[in-house]
Amino acid sequence: MIYHLITTPECNLCCEYCCGKAFDEPESNIKFESVPQKPTYSMDELNSFLARDEDKPVSIIFYGGEPLLNIEFIKKVMDSQSKYKTVKNWLIQTNGILLDKLPKEYVNKFHTILVSIDGGKEITNKNRGEGTWEKVTSNLNLIKTSGFRGEIIARMAIEEPANFYEDIMELINPKETGKNMPQGFKFASIHWQLDANMWHDYKKRDFTKWSIKYNKDISKLADYWVMEIKKGNLLRLYPFIGIINSLLFEKKYYLRCGSGISNFTILPNGKISACPIMSGIKEHYLGDIKTAKPKLLPFKLNIKEPCISCEEFELCGGRCLYSNIRPVWPKKGVIEVCESVKHLIREMKRISPVVEKALKDGKIKKQELEFLKYNCAEIIP
């Protein structure tokens, strides 16, 4: 199993699509309880819970807010492994600002670091604040030179008016944009997630028009991706490798973020939820680390219609458990999001023979398409 550990609900940035919305559009129909600013459970309580997991050693994803605002807790959890042997893989999802504050002996233990970034300098600083892009890219270069050998995944949150294709290219190949943009850090792994049907903001947005352009950009990116594959360069674009893997190797794959199945979140008060976004929603808590049995947690919350009877359920898996059980967009918006998922799947079916041939010709290897399942890259944007 994979567990998100929320080290603190606090954040040190105020990004446009997150904090801006929280102030402008407070969620009205969901009751949130506040959770403590720091974990209140002990290392014994945490590790006894993890030791009861029959799949141990498990994987831990440090998460927030901004997880690095509580570096002492991260160190304490990692240090506790000299006594308990419950964790195999360490991951972190961070905005990257404080990565230079975590000593390298801890950083270098991470299997994966997911860094929130929106594209190049201009768009990232516009959304996250002046100087963010410079600090984050400099920290990533620093950890590489300090010996980090794991995977760094750029994790983008996408919504209008983002120029999806251009923003991705600024991360992987700025020359492709035709602009004279600095790259800062060369990303080889990228995941993106649509900010859609998460907040009751559909009427204020122009998702209808934007999603048409987004779908065209997905096709353009798919063409670029296969062009690179033919040259032997496999870019780890998670939505692409996730679906291609299913098409070529493993067909069935229920809810690809794994939330509520193999992926759970431990809140600072020790309560367990299916995913980080459900923090503070008491009615969706699945248990408490003091008493819960990990094997009894899965499938307490399940994907419902319209996904179960959807023709793409096997490949999409239901996209997002949270949006499925608490849809906040009207039906029209939900259909538009699903259209984007179906377009992505169609495009992957279109290019999968080329990927298959590249595998047969030895241009790329099957292992390059593999990944640690439920590593915070939800696969379906």
The residues of the shown chain that bind ligand SF4, judged by CB under 6 A, are 257, 259, 275, 277, 306-307, 310, 312-313, 316, 318-322, 338, 341-342, 378
For residue 62, what are the CA distances in angstroms to 73, 89, 112?
10, 11, 11
* Cβ distance to ligand SF4 smaller for residue 46 or 320: 320
We find the least distance from the C-beta atom of residue 85 to ligand SF4, in angstroms, to be: 27
Structure-token pair, residue 112:
């994966």
We find the least distance from the C-beta atom of residue 242 to ligand SF4, in angstroms, to be: 12
Beta strands at 58-63 and 87-94: parallel, antiparallel or unpaired: parallel
We find the least distance from the C-beta atom of residue 287 to ligand SF4, in angstroms, to be: 17
We find the least distance from the C-beta atom of residue 6 to ligand SF4, in angstroms, to be: 13
DSSP states of 222-236: HHHHHHHHHTT---E
We find the least distance from the C-beta atom of residue 323 to ligand SF4, in angstroms, to be: 6
We find the least distance from the C-beta atom of residue 320 to ligand SF4, in angstroms, to be: 3
* Cβ distance to ligand SF4 smaller for residue 135 or 256: 256
* Cβ distance to ligand SF4 smaller for residue 8 or 197: 197
DSSP states of 296-341: G-TTSS---TTTTT-TTHHHHTTS-HHHHHS--S-HHHHHHHHHHH
Beta strands at 110-116 and 151-158: parallel, antiparallel or unpaired: parallel
Backbone φ and ψ of 35, nearest 5°: -110, 155
CA 242 – CA 215 distance, rounded (Å): 18
* Cβ distance to ligand SF4 smaller for residue 142 or 310: 310
CA 236 – CA 256 distance, rounded (Å): 16
DSSP states of 151-170: EEEEEEEE-TT--HHHHHHH
* Cβ distance to ligand SF4 smaller for residue 186 or 326: 326
Residue 288's beta-bridge partner residues?
271
CA 107 – CA 104 distance, rounded (Å): 5
We find the least distance from the C-beta atom of residue 239 to ligand SF4, in angstroms, to be: 12
* Cβ distance to ligand SF4 smaller for residue 99 or 321: 321
We find the least distance from the C-beta atom of residue 21 to ligand SF4, in angstroms, to be: 15
* Cβ distance to ligand SF4 smaller for residue 92 or 143: 92
CA 96 – CA 11 distance, rounded (Å): 12
* Cβ distance to ligand SF4 smaller for residue 135 or 319: 319
Residue 151's beta-bridge partner residues?
112
